[in-house]
Structure 1
């Protein structure tokens, strides 16, 4: 790496730059999620049709998986982080301008491809910063992402309520993101820490890690479903097209941030197993309130509680997997990420089809069941 001793602020500046990227990633994704109801209504899509179109995003993400590591290795995470940020947000105007479903699908494919590459390269930058500062701060980066997500959800609701078009909204976010990416580029870590060992890009987890992976799958499937469908559900319950339709999603995002800020302290006090168990039960409780009591206030409270429960499930599992005694940290995390990300990608699509054949309320009840499944699996952790 660069000679850090000549610049005492190098690590601090690199951390701020990486945090900025996590923030931009969060606010961009939430901005799109907050306008899904408007795009759905404009294109006159059924729930199943929307679910099918949304599937273009995970296809883009899966396409990026086999090439991201190679590209980052060749060109460095600093270059690829900013490149992928630009690639990621260029899709936003396409999503807002789409006049037909196939154009929306193309935009979502680009959005998914850029999102996955940005996620991987950002986390490499986060690891670089940890090495410079010589302490673990990974959870703080994800808390910043959640903060951006929360702000994006809140702003999205306010902007939609003012009647501003998705195209104008998403294009503005895209321009801001690109300008900020250019500004922080010079402060990112220029040279990635190289591993002396040759490790595979993908690996299947052993039985212990598979158990953690399935819990991560439950958590990430729930997160994906909430991101894409919570606004639509709240809008149905609100029964007011001019109301603040993202209130429930905003509450979900706020409590997600709160949980991640205090998650490390809680697990240090009561341990990983008890923390995960409580989190899963909180998810069940939150979704029960939101789905049983179909009142706007109950939905906001229920979604907020659900966000609190989901907040630290995946970060805690990542931390545990990183201390695996049977696999190296890199291979273990790659395995857990592969299993968990599958849930995040298929969740929105699954909810769409379940909603089409039943109702969105019944489809979202699957998150309640996932909370119970996660609690059961957690009880099996040694």
Structure 2
């Protein structure tokens, strides 16, 4: 007799939480690493390119690996590799070393992303309704927790290495505790070549909205601390508060996204989300003071909170392709924005300024509202 479905949901939710904890631990210490390695904006942007490079490399085989070994086995191994790479980031002492470790970090992260979302699709099938929002809410909640820890570590003067070792140990303990309770899908359950199939025409609008929204998320994850340090000129103890405000708002918003959509409708939520993203970023750009920037980052967190879960839910209801295939395809397009946006922001910041690059990101927020409206009209 199989385990109750809520047990599987709790275990898979734990994996989402651990994934978010690992990534946000790195993101919260980017200013510390930039300072320790003496990197300028362009050099940091170059280092961040290693993340999408690793992710794109894994795209060539991650779907095949899930098909061959099953998502349960892949997600456990990939999360272990993710934790090891986090420790490696704390050990590096040069730009070259950072490039190499971030490549592995990006590769492991995308393996986790494909496998854990495949697990989530399986849990949705058990419930017969969308529960994707709650999973992504746990990912965001983990980011908020990791941001708070990172802010405290910077305030106390703790180096990245002991911080990352502690987080990796916590991740491995959580992984061991939940391993027995995730969905036991075996090899061959997910057809090879389908998990990462490109979406059909009806899903391109959803993919584009995810792409725009996740560019904004990536900017917040990788550049919020730098923005508060270089532009807002926040005191050292407050450098991480913008990231924490963003993550707190995003985590809260994801837990209420489904109810809000029932009241306003999908199109209006996309329009509202895009307006909040653009408005929040422009507030932080036009009034680069601590209070205004914190308020702006809160608005951005509220704006991006519902976009990806609702896009995934809409993709899962596609009438033209199976739900799992649609979810994996749209998430892949969105994840490209998440990974490619931050390095581009670094290059734009070097050529213009960080405020100029954040203005560009605000345009991506407007893109969510525009594409959501055009998709409804179509």
Shorter-chain TM-score: what band?
over 0.9
| Structure 2 counterpart of 1:83 | 77
Give the conservation status (yes or no) of the 8 Å contact 1:199–1:331: no
1:278 aligns with one of 258, 272, 277: 272
Cα distance change of structure 1 residues 106 and 124 upon mapping to structure 2, 3 Å threshold: same
Deviation larger for 201-210 or 361-370: 201-210
Q: TM-score, normalised by structure 1?
A: 0.93
| Structure 1 counterpart of 2:184 | 190
Deviation larger for 302-311 or 175-184: 175-184
Give the conservation status (yes or no) of the 8 Å contact 2:69–2:187: no
Say whether residues 1:176 and 2:170 are aligned partners. Answer: yes
Shift of 1:68: 1.7
Give the conservation status (yes or no) of the 8 Å contact 1:247–1:300: yes
Say whether residues 1:334 and 2:328 are aligned partners. Answer: yes
| Structure 2 counterpart of 1:295 | 289
Give the conservation status (yes or no) of the 8 Å contact 1:21–1:181: yes
Cα distance change of structure 1 residues 269 and 287 upon mapping to structure 2, 3 Å threshold: same
Say whether residues 1:28 and 2:22 are aligned partners. Answer: yes
Shift of 1:242: 2.6
Cα distance change of structure 1 residues 297 and 131 upon mapping to structure 2, 3 Å threshold: same
Cα distance change of structure 1 residues 363 and 198 upon mapping to structure 2, 3 Å threshold: closer
Partners of 1:125 and 1:46 in 2: how far apart? 40
Cα distance change of structure 1 residues 185 and 338 upon mapping to structure 2, 3 Å threshold: closer
Partners of 1:203 and 1:281 in 2: how far apart? 31
Give the conservation status (yes or no) of the 8 Å contact 1:290–1:299: yes
SS at match of 1:366: helix
| Structure 2 counterpart of 1:74 | 68
Partners of 1:283 and 1:350 in 2: how far apart? 19
Shift of 1:320: 1.5
Say whether residues 1:63 and 2:54 are aligned partners. Answer: no
Tell me the number of residue pairs that the alignment of Structure 1 and Structure 2 aligns.
Answer: 376
Deviation larger for 306-315 or 135-144: 135-144
Q: Where do 1:348-367 residues align within 5 Å?
A: 348-367=342-361
- Kindly report the root-mean-square deviation, in angstroms, between the aligned alpha carbons of the 2 structures: 1.9
| Structure 2 counterpart of 1:264 | 258
Deviation larger for 73-82 or 326-335: 326-335
Shift of 1:11: 2.4
SS at match of 1:381: helix
Q: TM-score, normalised by structure 2?
A: 0.94
Partners of 1:321 and 1:64 in 2: how far apart? 23
Shift of 1:196: 8.8
SS at match of 1:380: helix
Q: Where do 1:310-349 residues align within 5 Å?
A: 310-349=304-343
Partners of 2:140 and 2:186 in 1: how far apart? 25
Shift of 1:301: 0.7
| Structure 2 counterpart of 1:244 | 238
Partners of 2:117 and 2:320 in 1: how far apart? 23
| Structure 2 counterpart of 1:113 | 107
| Structure 2 counterpart of 1:233 | 227
Deviation larger for 246-255 or 230-239: 230-239
Shift of 1:201: 4.1
Q: Where do 1:115-134 residues align within 5 Å?
A: 115-134=109-128
Partners of 2:26 and 2:239 in 1: how far apart? 14
Shift of 1:200: 3.1
Partners of 2:313 and 2:15 in 1: how far apart? 22
Listed as ranges, the gaps of 5+ residues in structure 1 are none
Listed as ranges, the gaps of 5+ residues in structure 2 are none
SS at match of 2:375: coil
Give the conservation status (yes or no) of the 8 Å contact 1:284–1:372: yes
Say whether residues 1:138 and 2:132 are aligned partners. Answer: yes
Partners of 2:72 and 2:202 in 1: how far apart? 34
SS at match of 2:60: helix
Cα distance change of structure 1 residues 23 and 334 upon mapping to structure 2, 3 Å threshold: closer
Deviation sequence 1:177-203 (CA, Å, 0-9, x none): 112211211122223597697763444
